[in-house]
């Protein structure tokens, strides 16, 4: 599925009627089966952009188009939320099953599908646990399994690994890439972590601080499958430096204003 974001803007209005521009004139494309990272500082409108792509929020101006074939009943998007957003009263199995129930899948089909994604995300043995009994990394796997289980045409991920320690994060990045290589959905992956974006993405869309605008789109010329060893390669380092160069002045300005 191809995603086309066309001159999208979003202005929030609070209860007193005061306006806050979150996104201005965002244009970007995600090609079929492409992994695109959207990178930007805290508060620049990343979650807002994802929410609009998911159809959860209305845009103030502009549009999001989806182009491509979908199988019968295949949802356009599924989202892995920034806060794990699991149902605390549901077991791991029932959390993963949630979207399939919503889609009206038959019980047999649900069972088979849930088992497959529980295995794929390394959650075997945890099926009957509840979210509060899991580590952050495990919870995030549940969020990913739940989103993947509905087989969306586009997977939207909002800083899924930001709550994890560095080691777990590296492992999860590898696993996500493995899953993506098998599932072949288009992915929009929101993050404020440059290394994460470069490691995983085909292209990195760099947003300015709020109101978010596209500063640049950086192609990542690293072979796939990706591996940790590439983090020292010149292409990796150059991409990181280029992106850091783009956001550095922004970060400095934010610091000066005491809002970083």
Give the residues lining the site for ligand ATP (CB under 6 A).
12, 14, 20, 22, 40, 42-48, 82, 192, 210
| Burial class for 260, CB neighbours closer than 10 Å (0-12, 13-18, 19+) | middle
The site partner of 93 among Mg ion, ligand ATP, none (C-beta below 5 to 8 Å per kind) is: none
CB crowding 19-40: b at 16 or more within 10 Å, else e: eeebbbebebbbbeebbbbbbb
The site partner of 42 among ligand ATP, Mg ion, none (C-beta below 5 to 8 Å per kind) is: ligand ATP
The site partner of 22 among Mg ion, ligand ATP, none (C-beta below 5 to 8 Å per kind) is: ligand ATP
Q: How far is the CB of 41 from ligand ATP (least distance, A)?
A: 7
Residues 102, 179: contact at Cβ < 8 Å?
no
Q: Is the CB of 16 or the CB of 234 nearer to ligand ATP?
A: 16
Q: How far is the CB of 190 from Mg ion (least distance, A)?
A: 7
Q: How far is the CB of 171 from ligand ATP (least distance, A)?
A: 23
d(CA 10, CA 122): 38
Q: How far is the CB of 70 from ligand ATP (least distance, A)?
A: 27
Q: Is the CB of 9 or the CB of 191 nearer to Mg ion?
A: 191
Closest CB to Mg ion belongs to which residue?
Answer: 47
The site partner of 56 among ligand ATP, Mg ion, none (C-beta below 5 to 8 Å per kind) is: none
* Strands annotated E in the chain: 2-13, 19-30, 35-39, 61-67, 77-80, 154-158, 186-191, 203-207, 214-219
Q: Is the CB of 22 or the CB of 24 nearer to ligand ATP?
A: 22
Q: How far is the CB of 44 from Mg ion (least distance, A)?
A: 9
| Angle formed at CA 137 by CA 126 and CA 40, multiple of 5 degrees | 150
Residues 222, 228: contact at Cβ < 8 Å?
no
Q: Is the CB of 47 or the CB of 79 nearer to ligand ATP?
A: 47
Size of the chain, expressed as the number of residues it contains:
260
Q: Is the CB of 47 or the CB of 121 nearer to ligand ATP?
A: 47
Q: Is the CB of 44 or the CB of 222 nearer to ligand ATP?
A: 44
Q: What are phi and psi of 255, to 5 degrees?
A: -60, -45
Q: How far is the CB of 106 from Mg ion (least distance, A)?
A: 36
d(CA 197, CA 202): 9
Q: Is the CB of 151 or the CB of 158 nearer to Mg ion?
A: 158
The site partner of 48 among Mg ion, ligand ATP, none (C-beta below 5 to 8 Å per kind) is: ligand ATP
The site partner of 192 among Mg ion, ligand ATP, none (C-beta below 5 to 8 Å per kind) is: ligand ATP
* Contacting residues toward Mg ion, per CB under 5 A: 46-47, 82
d(CA 52, CA 48): 6
Q: What are phi and psi of 257, to 5 degrees?
A: -85, 0
């Amino acid at each position: 599925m191809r995603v086309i974001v066309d001159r999208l803007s979003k202005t929030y209005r609070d209860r007193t009627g005061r306006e806050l521009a979150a996104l201005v004139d965002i244009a970007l494309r995600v090609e079929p089966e492409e992994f695109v990272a959207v990178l930007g500082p805290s508060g620049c409108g990343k979650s807002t952009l994802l929410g609009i792509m998911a159809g959860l929020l209305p845009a103030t101006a502009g549009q999001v188009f989806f182009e491509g074939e979908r199988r019968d009943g295949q949802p356009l998007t599924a989202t892995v939320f920034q806060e794990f957003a699991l149902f605390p009263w549901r077991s791991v199995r029932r959390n993963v099953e949630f979207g399939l129930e919503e889609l009206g899948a038959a019980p047999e089909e649900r069972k088979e599908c849930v088992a497959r994604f529980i295995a794929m995300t390394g959650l075997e043995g945890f099926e009957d646990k509840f979210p509060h009994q899991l580590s952050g990394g495990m919870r995030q796997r549940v969020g990913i399994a739940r989103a993947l289980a509905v087989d969306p045409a586009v997977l939207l991920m909002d800083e899924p690994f930001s709550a994890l320690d560095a080691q777990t994060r590296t492992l999860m990045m590898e696993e996500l890439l493995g899953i993506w290589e098998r599932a072949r959905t288009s992915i929009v992956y929101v993050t404020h972590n440059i290394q994460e974006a470069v490691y995983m993405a085909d292209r990195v869309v760099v947003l300015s601080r709020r109101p978010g605008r596209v500063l640049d789109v950086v192609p990542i010329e690293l072979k796939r499958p990706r591996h940790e060893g590439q983090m020292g390669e010149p292409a990796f380092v150059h991409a990181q430096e280029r992106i850091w160069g783009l956001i550095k002045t922004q970060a400095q300005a934010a610091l000066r204003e005491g809002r970083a």
